[in-house]
């Protein structure tokens, strides 16, 4: 094809031709979902980094004030300053817990993004699309990425044929049990 001629635009649902494919349309929608998740995570990471820096600065300032207050002679003002510094420190600890939940959320979104990408890659590969072994391999690869037990349980339930509602109930029960145990490493 001469350099002056441009390549024809691929067939889309907005401009279908004989080459149009629902598989390509599905891949486009999967790519859109991955892009949106990635964009949201990037925006969230920037905001959380800013918040984290702010909380660190505030915690350092509270500590500086508290140390300075210990140098003051006993008084009601000193007592109030120390109490308020302690309250700020407690709120900082609560904020750190909230950041841990954000970290868990971003891990989950990264898993969703990775799963959608793996699914798109498999569907795009005409040689693997109808290969049950390729599908099992993709599913095992996705499962191996989960670091949160409740996600693994939800995945296994869905693979075994559970409905979304049933899988979410299994996940919620696992999270409730975990809350009783008070710790989950992720």
Supply the pLDDT for residue 84.
92
> Is the backbone of residue 20 left (phi > 0), alpha (psi -120 to 50) or beta?
beta
Contact call for residues 100 and 184 (beta carbons, < 8 A): no
**Structural domain includes residue 167:** no
Supply the pLDDT for residue 85.
92
**Structural domain includes residue 87:** yes
What is the CA angle 106-108-111, rounded to 5?
A: 110
For 96, the domain range is: 22-129
**Structural domain includes residue 69:** yes
**Structural domain includes residue 137:** no
**Structural domain includes residue 92:** yes
User: 14-18, 31-35, 136-140 — which one is most confidently predicted on average?
Assistant: 136-140
**Structural domain includes residue 13:** no
Supply the pLDDT for residue 8.
63
**Structural domain includes residue 51:** yes
pLDDT tier at 3, thresholds 50, 70, 90: very low
- Smallest CA-to-CA distance from 153 within 167, 165, 141 is with 167
Supply the pLDDT for residue 183.
53
pLDDT tens profile 29-83: 888 889 888 888 888 888 888 888 888 888 889 889 999 998 999 999 999 999 9
Whether pLDDT at 2 is above 60:
no
Supply the pLDDT for residue 97.
81
Whether pLDDT at 26 is above 80:
yes
Whether pLDDT at 184 is above 60:
no
Q: How many CB atoms lie within 10 A of CB 11?
A: 15
Look at the chain and report how many structural domains it folds into.
Answer: 1
pLDDT tens profile 116-136: 999 999 998 989 989 999 999
pLDDT tier at 102, thresholds 50, 70, 90: confident
**Structural domain includes residue 102:** yes
């Amino acid at each position: 094809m001469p350099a002056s001629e441009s390549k024809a635009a691929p067939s889309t649902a907005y401009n279908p031709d004989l080459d149009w494919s629902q598989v390509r349309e599905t891949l486009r929608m999967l790519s859109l979902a991955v892009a949106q998740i990635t964009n949201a995570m990037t925006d969230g990471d920037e905001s959380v980094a800013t918040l984290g820096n702010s909380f660190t600065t505030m915690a350092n300032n509270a500590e500086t004030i508290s140390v300075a207050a210990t140098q003051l002679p006993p008084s009601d003002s000193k007592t109030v300053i120390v109490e308020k510094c302690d309250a700020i420190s407690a709120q900082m600890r609560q904020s750190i817990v909230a950041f841990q939940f954000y970290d868990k959320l971003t891990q989950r979104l990264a898993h969703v993004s990775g799963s959608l990408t793996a699914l798109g890659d498999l569907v795009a590969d005409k040689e693997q699309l109808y290969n049950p072994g390729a599908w099992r391999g993709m599913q095992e690869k996705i499962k191996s990425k989960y670091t949160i037990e409740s996600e693994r349980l939800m995945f296994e339930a869905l693979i075994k044929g559970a409905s979304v509602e049933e899988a979410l109930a299994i996940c919620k029960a696992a999270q409730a049990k975990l809350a009783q145990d008070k710790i989950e490493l992720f």
